[in-house]
Amino acid sequence: MKTDRVLILVDLQNDFVPGGALAVRGGDAVVPIANRVQRAFDLIVASKDWHPRDHGSFAANHPGRKVGDVIDLHGLPQILWPVHCVQETRGADFVPGLDTSRIDRVFLKGTDKEIDSYSAFFDNGHRKSTGMAEYIRERGVRDVYICGLASDYCVKFTALDAQQLGFQVHLIEDASRGVNLNATDSAAALDEIRRAGGQVIRSETLEDQGE
Protein backbone atom coordinates (compact mmCIF):
# COMPACT_ATOMS: atom_id res chain seq x y z
CA MET A 1 0.00 0.00 0.00
CA LYS A 2 1.35 3.39 -1.04
CA THR A 3 0.32 6.55 0.78
CA ASP A 4 1.87 9.96 1.21
CA ARG A 5 1.15 10.27 4.92
CA VAL A 6 1.15 8.26 8.14
CA LEU A 7 -0.21 8.60 11.67
CA ILE A 8 2.32 7.67 14.36
CA LEU A 9 0.83 6.76 17.76
CA VAL A 10 3.56 7.20 20.36
CA ASP A 11 3.60 5.08 23.52
CA LEU A 12 -0.12 4.97 24.37
CA GLN A 13 0.60 2.45 27.13
CA ASN A 14 -0.85 1.74 30.56
CA ASP A 15 2.18 2.96 32.50
CA PHE A 16 1.86 6.43 30.95
CA VAL A 17 -1.78 7.08 31.87
CA PRO A 18 -3.25 7.79 35.33
CA GLY A 19 -2.71 4.77 37.56
CA GLY A 20 0.47 3.77 35.73
CA ALA A 21 4.05 3.75 36.97
CA LEU A 22 4.99 6.92 35.06
CA ALA A 23 1.59 8.52 34.69
CA VAL A 24 1.20 11.59 32.49
CA ARG A 25 -1.47 13.90 33.82
CA GLY A 26 -4.44 13.73 31.46
CA GLY A 27 -2.74 11.04 29.41
CA ASP A 28 -5.92 8.99 29.15
CA ALA A 29 -7.73 11.97 27.59
CA VAL A 30 -5.73 11.64 24.36
CA VAL A 31 -6.95 8.12 23.61
CA PRO A 32 -10.43 8.98 22.25
CA ILE A 33 -8.87 11.76 20.16
CA ALA A 34 -6.29 9.33 18.76
CA ASN A 35 -9.11 6.94 17.91
CA ARG A 36 -11.04 9.61 16.04
CA VAL A 37 -8.15 10.91 13.94
CA GLN A 38 -7.30 7.39 12.80
CA ARG A 39 -10.22 7.60 10.38
CA ALA A 40 -8.29 10.16 8.32
CA PHE A 41 -5.38 7.78 7.60
CA ASP A 42 -4.75 4.73 5.46
CA LEU A 43 -1.43 3.99 7.19
CA ILE A 44 -1.06 3.93 10.98
CA VAL A 45 1.95 2.77 12.97
CA ALA A 46 2.64 2.82 16.69
CA SER A 47 5.56 2.69 19.09
CA LYS A 48 5.91 1.03 22.47
CA ASP A 49 8.44 1.44 25.24
CA TRP A 50 9.59 -2.15 25.80
CA HIS A 51 12.20 -2.17 28.54
CA PRO A 52 14.05 -5.05 30.14
CA ARG A 53 13.65 -4.94 33.92
CA ASP A 54 17.34 -4.09 34.39
CA HIS A 55 17.19 -1.06 32.09
CA GLY A 56 19.76 1.63 32.86
CA SER A 57 17.15 4.42 32.87
CA PHE A 58 15.42 3.03 35.97
CA ALA A 59 16.34 4.75 39.24
CA ALA A 60 15.77 1.44 41.04
CA ASN A 61 18.79 0.00 39.21
CA HIS A 62 21.14 2.68 40.62
CA PRO A 63 21.53 2.37 44.41
CA GLY A 64 21.56 5.75 46.11
CA ARG A 65 19.89 7.48 43.16
CA LYS A 66 16.32 8.68 42.90
CA VAL A 67 13.78 9.44 40.19
CA GLY A 68 14.64 12.71 38.48
CA ASP A 69 18.39 12.44 39.03
CA VAL A 70 20.55 12.81 35.92
CA ILE A 71 23.43 10.39 35.44
CA ASP A 72 25.89 9.54 32.70
CA LEU A 73 24.68 6.35 31.03
CA HIS A 74 27.38 5.06 28.70
CA GLY A 75 28.32 8.54 27.52
CA LEU A 76 24.88 10.14 27.38
CA PRO A 77 23.05 12.19 30.03
CA GLN A 78 20.16 10.15 31.37
CA ILE A 79 17.20 11.19 33.52
CA LEU A 80 16.31 8.40 35.93
CA TRP A 81 12.70 7.23 35.77
CA PRO A 82 10.48 4.88 37.77
CA VAL A 83 10.43 1.30 36.54
CA HIS A 84 7.95 1.38 33.65
CA CYS A 85 6.84 -0.44 30.49
CA VAL A 86 8.72 -3.62 31.37
CA GLN A 87 8.49 -6.23 28.65
CA GLU A 88 5.52 -8.62 28.91
CA THR A 89 3.85 -6.68 31.75
CA ARG A 90 0.46 -4.99 31.85
CA GLY A 91 2.17 -1.61 32.15
CA ALA A 92 3.66 -2.08 28.69
CA ASP A 93 0.31 -2.98 27.08
CA PHE A 94 -1.59 -0.47 25.01
CA VAL A 95 -4.27 1.42 26.94
CA PRO A 96 -7.42 -0.75 26.70
CA GLY A 97 -9.49 2.06 25.16
CA LEU A 98 -7.12 2.48 22.22
CA ASP A 99 -8.42 1.18 18.88
CA THR A 100 -5.55 -1.00 17.68
CA SER A 101 -7.45 -2.68 14.85
CA ARG A 102 -6.02 -0.38 12.17
CA ILE A 103 -2.40 -0.28 13.35
CA ASP A 104 -0.25 -1.71 10.56
CA ARG A 105 2.83 -2.30 12.67
CA VAL A 106 4.13 -1.73 16.20
CA PHE A 107 7.77 -0.70 16.68
CA LEU A 108 9.45 -1.52 20.00
CA LYS A 109 11.98 0.84 21.56
CA GLY A 110 14.09 0.98 24.70
CA THR A 111 14.87 -2.72 24.40
CA ASP A 112 18.62 -2.28 25.01
CA LYS A 113 19.37 -1.89 28.73
CA GLU A 114 22.46 0.18 27.93
CA ILE A 115 20.67 3.11 26.30
CA ASP A 116 17.27 4.81 26.52
CA SER A 117 15.10 5.41 23.48
CA TYR A 118 12.65 8.31 23.48
CA SER A 119 12.18 8.60 19.72
CA ALA A 120 10.14 6.05 17.81
CA PHE A 121 12.86 6.13 15.13
CA PHE A 122 16.18 5.79 17.01
CA ASP A 123 17.70 5.29 20.43
CA ASN A 124 18.92 8.42 22.19
CA GLY A 125 22.42 8.09 20.75
CA HIS A 126 21.17 7.42 17.20
CA ARG A 127 23.14 4.19 17.31
CA LYS A 128 20.34 1.90 16.12
CA SER A 129 17.18 2.42 14.09
CA THR A 130 13.86 0.88 15.12
CA GLY A 131 13.07 0.35 11.45
CA MET A 132 10.11 2.73 11.46
CA ALA A 133 11.69 5.24 9.07
CA GLU A 134 12.49 2.55 6.53
CA TYR A 135 9.01 1.04 6.86
CA ILE A 136 7.10 4.25 6.17
CA ARG A 137 9.51 5.49 3.51
CA GLU A 138 9.01 2.28 1.52
CA ARG A 139 5.30 3.09 1.52
CA GLY A 140 5.78 6.50 -0.03
CA VAL A 141 5.25 8.60 3.10
CA ARG A 142 6.24 12.26 3.00
CA ASP A 143 4.11 13.68 5.81
CA VAL A 144 4.03 12.27 9.34
CA TYR A 145 1.33 13.10 11.87
CA ILE A 146 2.35 12.39 15.44
CA CYS A 147 0.44 12.14 18.71
CA GLY A 148 0.73 10.36 22.03
CA LEU A 149 2.78 10.43 25.21
CA ALA A 150 4.63 12.35 26.22
CA SER A 151 4.86 15.71 24.42
CA ASP A 152 8.10 16.75 26.08
CA TYR A 153 9.97 13.46 25.63
CA CYS A 154 8.99 10.63 23.28
CA VAL A 155 6.63 12.68 21.12
CA LYS A 156 9.10 15.56 20.85
CA PHE A 157 12.08 13.40 19.91
CA THR A 158 10.00 11.39 17.43
CA ALA A 159 8.99 14.67 15.76
CA LEU A 160 12.53 16.07 15.69
CA ASP A 161 13.96 12.85 14.26
CA ALA A 162 11.23 12.71 11.62
CA GLN A 163 12.10 16.26 10.57
CA GLN A 164 15.80 15.38 10.38
CA LEU A 165 14.93 12.33 8.27
CA GLY A 166 13.28 14.60 5.71
CA PHE A 167 9.63 14.06 6.53
CA GLN A 168 7.23 16.95 6.97
CA VAL A 169 6.05 16.85 10.58
CA HIS A 170 2.58 17.62 11.95
CA LEU A 171 2.25 17.33 15.73
CA ILE A 172 -1.36 16.88 16.90
CA GLU A 173 -1.28 19.04 20.02
CA ASP A 174 -4.57 18.08 21.66
CA ALA A 175 -3.85 14.36 21.16
CA SER A 176 -0.61 14.62 23.16
CA ARG A 177 0.24 15.36 26.79
CA GLY A 178 3.51 16.05 28.61
CA VAL A 179 5.29 14.80 31.72
CA ASN A 180 6.20 18.39 32.62
CA LEU A 181 8.94 17.81 35.17
CA ASN A 182 9.10 21.58 34.78
CA ALA A 183 5.80 23.37 34.17
CA THR A 184 6.86 24.80 30.81
CA ASP A 185 8.40 21.64 29.32
CA SER A 186 5.52 20.82 26.95
CA ALA A 187 5.27 24.38 25.65
CA ALA A 188 9.03 24.44 25.10
CA ALA A 189 8.82 21.14 23.22
CA LEU A 190 6.19 22.50 20.85
CA ASP A 191 8.32 25.59 20.23
CA GLU A 192 11.33 23.38 19.47
CA ILE A 193 9.31 21.37 16.96
CA ARG A 194 8.14 24.57 15.25
CA ARG A 195 11.70 25.94 15.08
CA ALA A 196 12.82 22.69 13.43
CA GLY A 197 10.23 23.23 10.69
CA GLY A 198 7.36 21.15 12.01
CA GLN A 199 3.73 22.20 12.28
CA VAL A 200 1.60 22.03 15.41
CA ILE A 201 -2.05 21.33 14.57
CA ARG A 202 -5.35 20.46 16.25
CA SER A 203 -7.21 17.20 15.74
CA GLU A 204 -10.25 18.98 14.28
CA THR A 205 -8.41 19.59 11.03
CA LEU A 206 -8.01 15.82 10.60
CA GLU A 207 -11.41 14.75 11.88
CA ASP A 208 -13.03 16.77 9.10
CA GLN A 209 -11.00 14.76 6.57
CA GLY A 210 -12.06 11.44 8.06
CA GLU A 211 -15.77 11.92 7.58
Active-site residue identified among 11, 15, 152, 161: 11
Active-site residue identified among 123, 147, 154, 161: 154
Residue in 116, 109, 121, 24 with CA at minimum distance from that of residue 77: 116
Kind and range of the H or E run holding 137: helix 132-138
Active-site residue identified among 28, 49, 109, 161: 109
Instruction: Answer yes or no: 48 catalytic.
Output: no
SS3 100: coil
Instruction: Answer yes or no: 109 catalytic.
Output: yes
Q: In what order do the strands lie in the sheet with 143-149?
A: 105-109, 44-49, 5-10, 143-149, 168-177, 199-201
Burial 56-76 (b: 16+ CB within 10 A, else e): bbbbeeeeeeeeeeeeebeee
Instruction: Answer yes or no: 99 catalytic.
Output: no
Q: Report the C-alpha gap between 180 and 195 in whole angstroms.
A: 20
Catalytic positions are 11, 109, 154
